[in-house]
Structure 1
Amino acid sequence: MSIVFSRIDDRLIHGQVVTTWSNTYNIEQIIVLNDKVANDQTQKNILKMAAPAGIKVQTFPIKKFGQIIKTNKITRRTMLIFTTSEDVLTAVDAGIPVKELNVGGMRYQPGREKITKAVAVTPDEKEAFKQLIAKGVKITIQMVPNDEKIDLEEVIK
């Protein structure tokens, strides 16, 4: 399996992801796992245009991707991108191997609790993070590779 990097970023594919993370991990393919985006052709087209030349972009509903990878080997160096911790929990429960998770931007909005400068969570997202930690997923917050990694377990209460 060639999933080399998994990230939560509510902006999905954008400048930081495209330039720094793709280069750091020599990414050949980005797979966006989000049920809503997977069913929105306009959004899928925008994501493909946002990726650098030479990087394949695919979008799947989460549980469907869990079924796909049971019978189809990933051969490209792949980055998984999610929008929320709830989506990651659904993915892990569907058998998608996420052993380490990078958390980038989860923007603050009313009803969200700010846990770091760049990460704000709903109560359900907070609970999903706790469940992921309990399942053994190592979760760090880091916007770009040069930033210091923050262990999520230390800031989530």
Structure 2
Amino acid sequence: MPNILLTRIDNRLIHGQVGMTWANHLGANLIVVANDKVADDPVQQNLMDMAVSDVVDTRYFTIQETIDKIHYAADDQLIFLVVKDPQDVVKLVEGNVPIVKLNIGNMHFSEGKQQITSTVSVNEADKQAFRRLQKLGVKMEIRRVPDESNTDISKFL
């Protein structure tokens, strides 16, 4: 069983808040980014690697690669899994990735989305994905940074 400490939705994927603040808070030694586009974009990967301390490794996998490879993680790999949106989290959970706790950190506002907190905006597809994750038993919270109090997303669904 892989040691997934936390899964986070952040449409920016890895940046200072994720690469330093959250990784340090969790004690993670590996950040896995599950994203189809970034998995094939070495420029984006190099930019994201700049936001991570030297003691934390990174891996960039497609959603399917994450499903296929996560169970081969070594026992000493303490994994912080980062994804871009809730639909990808549903694919991972339905693909048997053992996600127990989901942190919703940042989902940018765009046309057709409703802002539910200062950093999270959702549309109906996002809400459906969160409801599906709820049914699958995933505990979910909205929290930007570790020292902030969390908000239960279920009141917005």
User: By the TM > 0.5 criterion, same fold?
Assistant: yes
Query: Are the aligned partners of 1:10 and 1:105 in contact in 2 as well (CA < 8 Å)?
Result: yes
Q: What do the CA deviations read for 1:85-118 (whole angstroms, capped 9, x no partner)?
A: 0010011111111111000010111121112221
Alignment map for 1:19-38 (pairs within 5 Å): 19-38=20-39
Mark the runs of 5 or more structure 2 residues left unpaired by the alignment.
none
Q: After the TM superposition, which segments of 4 or more aligned residues of structure 1 sit over 4 Å from their partners? A: none
Query: Are the aligned partners of 2:34 and 2:60 in contact in 1 as well (CA < 8 Å)?
Result: yes
Secondary structure of the corresponding residue to residue 110 of structure 1: coil
Q: 2: distance between equivalents of 1:119 and 1:73?
A: 31
Secondary structure of the corresponding residue to residue 118 of structure 2: coil
Q: 2: distance between equivalents of 1:99 and 1:44?
A: 26
Q: 2: distance between equivalents of 1:16 and 1:73?
A: 24
Q: 1: distance between equivalents of 2:115 and 2:5?
A: 28
**Which residue in the other structure is 2:13 paired with?**
12
Identity percentage of aligned residues: 35
- Report how many residues are paired: 155
Q: What do the CA deviations read for 1:35-70 (whole angstroms, capped 9, x no partner)?
A: 111111211221222211121011101112111134
- Report which stretch shifted further, 147-156 or 135-144: 147-156
Q: How far apart are residue 23 of structure 1 and its match?
A: 1.4
The amino acid of 1:48's aligned partner reads D
**Which residue in the other structure is 1:133 paired with?**
134
Q: How far apart are residue 126 of structure 1 and its match?
A: 1.5
Q: 2: distance between equivalents of 1:15 and 1:58?
A: 17
Query: Are the aligned partners of 1:62 and 1:91 in contact in 2 as well (CA < 8 Å)?
Result: yes
**Which residue in the other structure is 2:118 paired with?**
117
Q: How far apart are residue 155 of structure 1 and its match?
A: 2.4
- Report which stretch shifted further, 147-156 or 88-97: 147-156
**Which residue in the other structure is 1:47 paired with?**
48
**Which residue in the other structure is 1:73 paired with?**
73
Mark the runs of 5 or more structure 1 residues left unpaired by the alignment.
none
The two structures have a TM-score, normalised by structure 1, of: 0.93
Q: 1: distance between equivalents of 2:114 and 2:93?
A: 24
Q: 1: distance between equivalents of 2:32 and 2:20?
A: 16
